[in-house]
């Protein structure tokens, strides 16, 4: 397995400023091999519905990725295979969780209550957001996973903390990289393992959608964010 400590991200976080009084912050975390800036136009319809929200899109460093035969790609942690196996890059995950935690701390120091901060991520970014949100000592407003998963080895820490924040999970039924069964199993763990209230866990699937997002999914995300952020 490739090790942590890759080349620092060449691009800093992309920040989308609110167009109304800043009342909440969404931290959006991209997937394996992606650039944060590529998500700015994709998220625009969601951004437009939440004028008081500041968006922060961090950029992963370039690390050697085992799944890509050791090629350096933007990656939050090493991945051996897709669909994800039980391999666990503990060092890489720890560094990336700290990156997201530091963004949360910065927003809190800037005057935003932690309950007004939501983590949203796609694929590997979704996994990172879930591992961060479900183990942090900050009381976050919620976490959303778009085609993500919860690594098995990260779950013990979650069981010890018993988080209770709102969760939005979206998954395409035609996803072969991270199949929707991963989402079904993970949301069952959230309800039965972590005992998060049924009405706090939203699980939606999108017929025919592969490892991507579509307008319906983004619309549902915007609705969920509007509900929990008021």
Of 83, 102, 99, 103, nearest to 178 (Cα)? 83
CB 208 within 8 A of CB 172: yes
- Identified catalytic residue from 75, 154, 171, 211: 211
> Of these residues, 30, 75, 96, 175, which one is catalytic?
175
In the annotation, is 123 catalytic? yes
Residue 173 CA, chain-centre distance (Å), reads 19
Q: Is 211 one of the annotated active-site residues of the chain?
A: yes
DSSP 3-state of 70: coil
H-run or E-run covering 108: helix 90-109
Q: Which of 76, 228, 227, 61 is nearest to 139 (CA)?
A: 228
154 is known as an active-site residue = no
Give the residue among 148, 157, 161, 221 at the shortest CA–CA distance from 196: 161
Catalytic residue among 75, 123, 147, 154: 123
Q: Which residues contact 53 (CB under 8 A, 6 or more apart)?
A: 18, 22, 23, 24, 25, 26, 47, 225, 229
Q: Which residues are catalytic?
A: 123, 175, 211
């Amino acid at each position: 397995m490739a090790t942590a400590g890759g080349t620092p991200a060449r691009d800093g976080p992309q920040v989308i400023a609110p167009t109304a009084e800043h009342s909440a912050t969404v931290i959006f975390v991209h997937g394996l091999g992606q650039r944060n800036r590529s998500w700015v136009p994709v998220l625009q319809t969601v951004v437009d519905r939440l004028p008081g929200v500041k968006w922060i899109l961090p950029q992963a460093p370039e690390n050697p990725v085992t799944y890509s035969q050791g090629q350096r790609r933007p990656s939050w942690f090493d991945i051996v295979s897709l669909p994800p196996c039980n391999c666990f890059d503990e060092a890489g995950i720890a560094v990336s969780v700290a990156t997201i935690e530091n963004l949360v701390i910065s927003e809190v120091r800037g005057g935003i209550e932690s309950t007004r901060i939501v983590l949203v991520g796609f694929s590997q970014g979704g996994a990172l957001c879930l591992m961060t949100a479900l183990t942090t000592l900050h009381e976050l407003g919620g976490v959303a996973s778009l085609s993500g998963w919860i690594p098995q080895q990260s779950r013990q820490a979650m069981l010890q903390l018993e988080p209770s924040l709102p969760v939005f999970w979206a998954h395409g039924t035609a996803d072969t990289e991270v199949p929707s069964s991963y989402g079904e199993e993970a949301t069952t763990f959230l309800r039965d393992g972590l005992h998060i209230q049924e009405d706090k866990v939203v699980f939606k699937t999108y017929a025919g959608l592969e490892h991507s997002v579509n307008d319906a999914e983004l619309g549902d995300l915007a609705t969920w964010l509007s509900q929990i952020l008021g």
